[in-house]
Amino acid sequence: MKKYFLVAFLLFAISIVKSQTPDQNLQALGIVLPKPVSPLYNYVKFVRTGNLIYLSGQGPAKPDGTFITGKLGRELTVEEGASAAKLTGINLIATLKDAIGDLSKVKRIVKVFGMVNCTENFYEQPKVINGFSDLMVAVFGEKGRHARSAVGMYSLPMNISVEIEMIVEVEDK
């Protein structure tokens, strides 16, 4: 049943993406981008070099400023982890929009590095990070397909459930 729902969601998402802008796709999906939060430590949220935007790792920050926390395989299920990865994706898209102004300037989501806070016997990191990857395709269409790593971590800052960073190619300024 879950696989059927996921396939139906992806087919729906791809059908709306074909002729719409990323902002229209976000609206069709019922997603409102949050205001990007300031870095918690000594780093910047993104760096642009040429036509590449490097986005620092972010976690699943909720609108109230708290995070989805816990280890996959103990406190959280795969589905809860995928939801946390999707939320992280929404936050990264908000930061990307802050960096470039117009999401239509995205040429390609190039590379994603997804880290999953999990127990030593948890092996479904790719399923968790699919929550992020599915969102990128739903918002950016084929431009949202990316190279990716999905790895398990013994711990992540503040016990967040996932942390994701990405590299995006954009149009010339």
Q: What's the mean pLDDT in 131-149?
A: 98
Q: What are phi and psi of 20, to 5 degrees?
A: -120, 160
The CATH number of residue 18's host domain is 3.30.1330.40
The structure tokens listed for 130 are 């699919």
Question: HEC states along the chain?
Answer: CHHHHHHHHHHHHHHHHCCCCHHHHHHHCCCCCCCCCCCCCCCCCEEEECCEEEEEEECCECCCCCECECCECCCECHHHHHHHHHHHHHHHHHHHHHHHCCHHHEEEEEEEEEEEEECCCCCCHHHHHHHHHHHHHHHHHHHHCCEEEEEEECCCHHHECEEEEEEEEECCC
Instruction: Name residue 109's beta-bridge partners.
Output: 168
pLDDT score for 12: 59
pLDDT score for 14: 55
Q: What's the mean pLDDT in 60-73?
A: 96
Query: What digits encode the pLDDT tens for the residues 27-59?
Result: 999 999 999 888 878 999 999 999 999 999 999
Q: What's the mean pLDDT in 78-94?
A: 98
CB 36 within 8 A of CB 91: yes
Quick one: how far is CA 118 from the chain centroid? 18
Instruction: Give me the residue label for tokens 């117009």.
Output: 102
Rounded distance between C-alpha atoms, residue 129 and residue 149, angstroms: 9
How many structural domains does the chain have? Answer: 1
Q: What's the mean pLDDT in 48-73?
A: 96
pTM beyond 0.95, yes or no: no
CB 90 within 8 A of CB 34: yes
Q: Residue 110's domain spans which residues?
A: 2-170
